[in-house]
Amino acid sequence: MTLKDFFEQVPKAAAAFSGGTDSAFVLWAAREYGCDIHAYYVKTDFQPEFELEDARRLAEELDIPMTVVDMDILSVPEAEENGPERCYYCKRAIFTRLREAAQAGGYSVILDGTNASDDAGDRPGMRALRELEVRSPLRECGLTKAEVRKRSEEAGLFTWKKPAYACLATRIPTGTRIRTRDLERVEQAENAMSELGFRDFRVRLYGDGARIQVTGDQMHLALKKRKQICDKLGGLFPAVLLDLDERKPSD
């Protein structure tokens, strides 16, 4: 099945839009093939501000309506407790809230950006998507991450080369209760690292300190800018550590 076939079968839908490469391409394809599509961005403490900015920019460029749905994700006990099944409970709560908003807007079919490269066995949240009957056009049409990037570049989408970005909750070790303040510190630290020229990296909570992971090709930059990193992150964390085990580049 092609995306054209998919959207002929699904002429009207709501799309969960994160501002990332995959969901951006879903929106483009829906518009391209005549689907009545409406984007929904669920805003929680787990999403950094730049993702919302990217989502608004892309929706505007494609002339697709977008609704921002605010949600207090830390009011979901299983999300705040941050156990091994956090992603499942988080995804279920977010898509339940999104479905309520979409149905109020007249949309009964919900789409997401899961692609054919995503390993269902390694994505606890995908169980929630199945339970809530969320459709994944990229996965259903066999489109891999590499193909999505290629076709996004051809379509002129600025999101084609965005690094994969997991939510801020993944920066908190499993089993450590998630606090708003820790999410804020991580987001501020990652913004600072971006300003210093880093790309495709992570700043993870390590005790009360920060553990920085960078790709191999940027390890020299981390050492070169050691002082600037300490100056910028030192006010957020009592200790700032560099992980010498390089981070593998995202797809």
Per-domain boundaries in the chain:
3-161, 179-242
Q: What is the mean pLDDT of residues 203-215?
A: 96
pLDDT of 251 over the 50 cut: no
What's the pLDDT tens digit per position in 152-161?
A: 999 999 999 9
Q: What is the third-level CATH fold of 3-161?
A: Rossmann fold (3.40.50)
Q: What is the mean pLDDT of residues 233-245?
A: 96
What's the pLDDT tens digit per position in 40-87?
A: 999 999 999 999 999 999 999 999 999 999 999 999 999 999 999 999
Q: Is 73 helix (H, G, I), strand (E, B) or coil?
A: helix
pLDDT of 250 over the 90 cut: no
Alpha carbon 63 to chain centroid distance?
Answer: 21
CA distance 175 to 188: 23
Rg (CA), the chain: 19
Beta-bridge partner residues of 37: 13
pLDDT of 249 over the 80 cut: no
CA distance 228 to 222: 9
pLDDT band at residue 122, thresholds of 50, 70 and 90? low
What's the pLDDT tens digit per position in 124-174?
A: 778 888 999 999 999 999 999 999 999 999 999 999 999 888 899 999 999
